Structure 1
Amino acid sequence: MRTIMLAALPVGFVFGLAACGSDPAPAPQAEEAPVQMQAGEWELVRKTTGYNTPTVTPAQYQEALKQVATQKLCIAVDAQGVPAADALAGQEGTACTFKDKLVRKGRLIATLACTAGAGTSEIVIEGNYGADTLTLGTTMTKTEGGKPVLRTTHDLTGRRLGDCPKPG
């Protein structure tokens, strides 16, 4: 009798689990609206957090870490609500284009390819943005003649001030 009861126990357990799976499936959740950065006049603050050249001295490195640049500019955004590449590059490159770009729920991970003086710069960007704020980290590598000559890192923060001023 005892062995029959023990043998019946797993069967009852399986039927009990099957009953748990009979609940209706949860209703699909509404998809979140994408986060869109707004075009307009923005104030960007770029704080240097790293500076490296083949010949950098400790004093030059410490001096570079004191650099904080504030810039007001009108920023255009694309259909995904991502700012123009040149606005993100700041003084570290011109004629920038996105080599790659991943945008999801206010998160941006991208690589920019830019012209930088006699060479080129590649800027890797990662961080978060909203309609009227952004917080990004950037790493720039400048190359001349196929050799890296400068690497910098920055914390980039920004806030939207409003619409761009009308010319004239």
Structure 2
Amino acid sequence: MRKTWHAALPLALILGGTLGLAACGSDPAPAPQAEEAPVVMKAGQWGLTRKTTGYNTPTVTPAEYQEALKQIDEEKLCIAIDKDGLPDANAIAGKEGTECSYKDKMARKGRLIATMSCKSGAGTSEIAVEGNYTADTLTLGTTMTRTEGGKPVLRTTHDLTGTREGDCPAAP
């Protein structure tokens, strides 16, 4: 009888330990996290305000610099949003360039960081853009460097703010 008891004891300990371990590892799996909805700007009629915060040329005078800092441009325009959820590059560039396109871009969770390339007079302009946006607002900082013949001739910085005002007016 003793031999049977001693032989059964290790088996009971092994099975009991295994069952005990199984119970420890049987916590329920954590619930999957809900993904945040992406922040996407809406196309439509926007009111934009562009305030000059910096102006530099090789020959700028202090008076010209101070005068440039007084510039605040306001415009209303219809802004299209591309397949990547980015606003039309020409709208962001304003008077800083034409035929603009994004060279690189990152738009995520309401944050935009991009570089645009544009034609500008007899040269080109490169515009760095960084800031925040929602479906109906934007607050961006821009830095534009215009080059002609491979030499920088103008650098400006602007604060660009905007609010979506509704759908674009119907074409006549």
- Structure 1 residues 157-166 or 21-30, which shifts more? 21-30
Structure 1 segments (4+ residues) deviating >2 Å: 21-28
CA distance in structure 2 between the aligned counterparts of 1:81 and 1:130, rounded to whole angstroms: 11
Distance 1:127 1:134 in 2: 8
Q: Does residue 106 of structure 2 align to residue 102 of structure 1?
A: yes
Aligned equivalent of 2:142? 138
Distance (whole Å) between structure 2 residues aligned to residue 71 and residue 25 of structure 1: 54
Q: 1:22 offset after TM fit, Å? A: 8.4
Name the residue aligned to 1:148.
152
Is 1:36–1:80's contact at 8 Å kept on the other side of the alignment? Answer: no
5+ residue gaps, structure 2: 1-24
Q: Match of 2:17?
A: none
| Structure 2 SS opposite 1:63 | helix
Q: What letter corresponds to residue 125 of structure 2 in structure 1?
A: S
Report sequence identity in percent: 76
Shift in CA distance, 23/57, structure 1 to aligned 2, threshold 3 Å:
farther
Q: How far 1:26 moved relative to its partner? A: 3.4
Distance 2:155 2:54 in 1: 8
Matched, 1:26 2:30: yes
* 1:158 corresponding residue in structure 2: 162
1: CA distance, partners of 2:119 / 2:144: 12
Cα distance in 2 for partners of 1:55, 1:24 equals: 70
For normalisation by structure 1, the TM-score amounts to 0.85
Q: RMSD of the alignment, in Å? A: 1.5
Deviation larger for 117-126 or 81-90: 81-90
* Long gaps (5+) in structure 1: 1-20
What is the TM-score of this pair, normalised by structure 2? 0.83
Shift of 1:150: 0.2
Largest Rg, 1 or 2: 2
